């Protein structure tokens, strides 16, 4: 399961809207050998979806969700810039 803070959802919503991405497209979180990747995609049956105001923001398939585990996305200041950060939830 993946969750996102209100601020993270707001940032993702605005970024997708400003990029003219369709309401049913979102960023798919994929597990790769050396970490995670975001890829623009359309959700499929069984995917977990994080949305705001009916706009799809994040998509994760059940296999990657099981591998990554319970996580949340938030906005953090890293150096002088703000970044989206994915952190695993404590059990």
pLDDT, residue 64, reads 85
pLDDT in tens, 35-48: 888 999 999 999 99
* pLDDT number for residue 91: 60
Tokens of 17: 């809207």
User: Which residues are registered as beta bridge partners of 28?
Assistant: 39, 59
Q: Which element (helix H / strand E) includes 51? A: strand 48-52
Instruction: Report the pLDDT value the prediction gives residue 26, as an integer from 0 to 100.
Output: 96
- Count up the domains in the chain and report the number: 1
Residues spanned by the domain of 20? 2-88
Whether the CB-CB separation of 27 and 57 falls below 8 Å is answered with yes
CATH number, residue 8:
2.60.300.12
pLDDT less than 70: residues of the chain: 91
C-beta separation of 73 from 5 below 8 A = yes
């Amino acid at each position: 399961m993946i969750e996102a803070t209100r601020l993270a959802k707001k940032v993702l919503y605005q970024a997708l809207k400003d990029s003219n991405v369709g309401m049913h497209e979102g960023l798919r979180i994929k597990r790769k050998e050396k970490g995670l990747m975001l890829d623009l995609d359309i959700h499929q049956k069984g995917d977990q979806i994080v949305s705001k105001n009916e706009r799809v923001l994040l998509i994760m398939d059940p296999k990657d969700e099981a591998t990554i585990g319970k996580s949340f996305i938030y906005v953090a200041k890293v150096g002088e810039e703000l970044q989206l950060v994915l952190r695993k939830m404590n059990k």
